[in-house]
């Protein structure tokens, strides 16, 4: 039987980071990846000469190790300006700090409610947190509606362990200023975003892919952790000494021979959102926005970005592109391709950015794992699974291996650290 001293499951950035960590220790590893190409969520979609990423991907990595790798690739730096679309209005992000275009009575209603927000409320879930931060009216008008589209959940069912610096904690002075003036400062959690000059976001990890040994089309179906053997759908079994996995925890547990019932039960409770990506190519330039959020419920997408604004090299000269992100709870999409495309045409019209005759093509791709869901109590289920994996000597890392809301730089370091700690 073939043997790999160090086997890594998954050739996303975390698996590639693990291979890098091992290389730096002078060890060779083999990465087994189920897809025919590598990169995982950072892989590109190439359609009619246009390059799309899998959802908005821009880098704001600060860690020297990550910068050392990403900076090998020439990049463009963008200011992190983003926008929000709600009921026919384009407002700057974060929306509660940029209310100037609203009618006066609406501003008064929102700000009055902000001032009266509950201070002493016990914060037991994300809805409490929102009321506490923004007051009832702003919360209901903006982030709660957005939560239903992006997380496909009610805010009271979510915890706040994922929030970190992702949500702007507002001050009265900022809200008041933005209610009077459109000249507001950028409050995004990072001031600039980097993106490769050519080849899509994946170019940042091309050096890692080139230097790793990767077996593609290697779909893991069973792991015998006692005999230390990996079984694949269409590849001969491989024995291993050390195993690093970046597979989603439920997928991993499901493949482990003899996993205990309680661990299987916990892993089955872990939920993700999946996304349908509608990628659209246009025969002319249509928008300058790098990315934007959509609050309207009749538009399926909660977010969109323009690959051609990220880099003009993402499409042929004179053309442009947009990709819409539409989320579903669970790893299977809930809408048909036909509905997704119809709604995208409607969205382009409602957003006022393109007509059907501007469209060159439209393609739908389903991504089964987008974000891990932070339902209340998720951490207990996750810890139960992670403790079991430890007992089986499997190092689990990456966004779906740590089961956390990791950016690409954090996923890289998660894999890198797993290799160093082995
Ligand atoms: C909507 C969205 C927007 C994002 N935007 C940004 C951003 O702007 N900036 C940023 O830095 N980060 C962003 N991220 C985060 C970033 O995409 C992730 O942190 C990172 O790509 C996760 O890498 P990973 O290797 O952990 O997981 P993945 O990329 O999911 O890699 C796991 C790999 O395992 C493989 N696999 C699964 N099952 C099997 C099996 N049975 N056998 C073999 N292989 C298998 C998969 O095919 C995949 O290649 C975003 C993520 C999402 C979802």
Q: What is the spatial distance between Cα 99 and Cα 110, in angstroms, rounded to a whole number?
A: 9
Task: Judge whether 152 lies within some domain.
Answer: yes
Q: Count of alpha carbons within 13 Å of 282, Cβ hemisphere only?
A: 21
The minimum-distance atom of ligand 1 relative to the CA of 232 is 42
Q: For residue 403, what pLDDT is reported?
A: 98
Task: Judge whether 364 lies within some domain.
Answer: no
Question: Of 203, 399, 405, 414, which is best to mutate to test ligand 1, by the most ligand atoms within 8 angstroms of its C-beta?
Answer: 399
Q: For residue 249, what pLDDT is reported?
A: 98
Which residue pairs from 383-388 have beta carbons closer than 8 angstroms and sit at least 24 positions apart in sequence? 384/262, 384/263, 384/266, 385/249, 385/253, 385/263, 385/266, 385/267, 385/270, 386/249, 388/253, 388/259, 388/260, 388/263
Task: Judge whether 142 lies within some domain.
Answer: yes
CA of 240 to the centre of ligand 1 (A): 24
Pair 257, 382 in one domain:
yes
Strand, coil or helix: what is 137? helix
Question: Of 10, 19, 32, which is best to mutate to test ligand 1, by the most ligand atoms within 8 angstroms of its C-beta?
Answer: 10
Q: For residue 164, what pLDDT is reported?
A: 74
Burial class (CB in 10 A: 0-12, 13-18, 19+), 341: middle
Question: Of 41, 164, 193, 366, which is best to mutate to test ligand 1, by the most ligand atoms within 8 angstroms of its C-beta?
Answer: 41
What CATH code is carried by the domain that includes residue 8? 3.50.50.60
Task: Judge whether 125 lies within some domain.
Answer: yes
CA of 385 to the centre of ligand 1 (A): 20
Pair 105, 175 in one domain:
yes
Picking from 187, 220, 248, the residue at the C-terminal end of a domain is 187
Q: What is the spatial distance between Cα 9 and Cα 244, in angstroms, rounded to a whole number?
A: 6
Pair 246, 383 in one domain:
yes
pLDDT less than 50: residues of the chain? none
Q: Write down the pTM of the prediction.
A: 0.96
Residue nearest to atom 38 of ligand 1 (CA): 247
Residue span of the structural domain in which 149 resides: 97-187
Q: What is the spatial distance between Cα 128 and Cα 130, in angstroms, rounded to a whole number?
A: 5
- Residue indicated by tokens 């079991």: 388
Q: For residue 189, what pLDDT is reported?
A: 67
Picking from 160, 187, 214, the residue at the C-terminal end of a domain is 187
Residues in the ligand 1 pocket, defined by CB under 6 Å: 9-15, 32-35, 40-42, 55-59, 218-220, 246-247, 251, 325, 369-371, 398-400, 406-409, 411
Pair 167, 215 in one domain:
no
Task: Report the candidate in 344, 347, 346 with the shortest Cα–Cα distance to residue 361.
Answer: 344
Q: For residue 302, what pLDDT is reported?
A: 98
Picking from 137, 158, 187, the residue at the C-terminal end of a domain is 187
Residue nearest to atom 34 of ligand 1 (CA): 10
Pair 22, 170 in one domain:
no
Task: Judge whether 349 lies within some domain.
Answer: no
Q: For residue 359, what pLDDT is reported?
A: 98
Pair 172, 254 in one domain:
no
Task: Judge whether 320 lies within some domain.
Answer: no
The minimum-distance atom of ligand 1 relative to the CA of 325 is 1
Q: For residue 265, what pLDDT is reported?
A: 98
Pair 36, 113 in one domain:
no
Task: Judge whether 36 lies within some domain.
Answer: yes
Pair 105, 139 in one domain:
yes
Strand, coil or helix: what is 152? coil
Task: Judge whether 199 lies within some domain.
Answer: no
Pair 388, 258 in one domain:
yes
Pair 183, 102 in one domain:
yes
Pair 183, 208 in one domain:
no
Number of domains in the chain: 2
Pair 183, 210 in one domain:
no
Q: For residue 187, what pLDDT is reported?
A: 67
């Amino acid at each position: 039987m073939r043997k790999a001293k160090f086997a890594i499951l998954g050739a996303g950035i975390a698996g590639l980071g693990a291979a890098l960590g091992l290389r730096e220790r002078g060890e060779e590893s083999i990465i087994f990846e189920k897809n025919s190409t590598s990169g995982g969520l950072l892989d590109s979609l190439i359609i009619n000469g246009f390059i799309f990423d899998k959802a908005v991907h821009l880098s704001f990595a600060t860690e020297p190790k990550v910068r050392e790798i990403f900076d090998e690739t020439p990049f463009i730096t963008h200011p992190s300006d983003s926008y929000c679309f709600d009921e026919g209005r384009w407002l700057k992000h974060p929306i509660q700090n940029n209310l100037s275009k609203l009618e006066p009575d609406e501003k008064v209603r929102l700000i009055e409610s902000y001032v009266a927000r509950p201070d002493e409320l016990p914060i037991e879930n994300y809805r409490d947190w929102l009321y506490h931060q923004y007051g009832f009216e702003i919360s209901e008008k903006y982030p709660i509606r957005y939560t239903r589209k992006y997380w496909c959940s009610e805010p009271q069912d979510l915890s706040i362990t994922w929030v970190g610096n992702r949500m702007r904690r507002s001050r009265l002075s900022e809200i008041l200023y933005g209610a009077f003036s459109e000249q507001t400062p950028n409050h995004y959690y990072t001031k600039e975003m980097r993106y490769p000059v050519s080849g899509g976001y994946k170019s940042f990890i091309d050096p890692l892919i080139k230097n790793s040994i990767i077996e593609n089309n290697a779909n893991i179906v069973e792991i015998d952790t006692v005999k230390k053997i990996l079984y694949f759908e269409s590849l001969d079994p491989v024995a291993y000494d050390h195993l690093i996995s970046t597979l989603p925890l439920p997928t991993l547990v499901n493949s482990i021979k003899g996993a205990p019932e309680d661990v299987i039960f916990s892993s089955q409770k872990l939920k993700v959102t999946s996304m349908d990506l509608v990628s659209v190519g246009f025969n002319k330039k249509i928008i300058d926005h790098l990315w934007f959020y959509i609050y309207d419920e009749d538009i399926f997408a909660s977010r969109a970005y323009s690959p051609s604004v990220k880099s003009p090299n993402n499409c042929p000269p004179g053309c442009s592109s947009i990709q819409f992100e539409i989320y579903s709870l669970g790893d299977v999409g809930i809408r048909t391709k036909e509905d997704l495309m119809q709604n995208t045409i409607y969205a382009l019209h409602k957003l006022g950015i393109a007509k059907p005759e501007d469209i060159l093509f439209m393609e739908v791709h389903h991504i089964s794992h987008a974000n891990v869901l932070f339902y209340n109590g998720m951490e207990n289920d996750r810890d139960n699974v992670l403790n079991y994996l430890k007992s089986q000597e499997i190092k689990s890392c990456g966004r779906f291996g740590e089961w956390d809301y990791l950016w690409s730089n954090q996923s890289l370091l998660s894999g890198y650290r797993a290799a160093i700690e082995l």
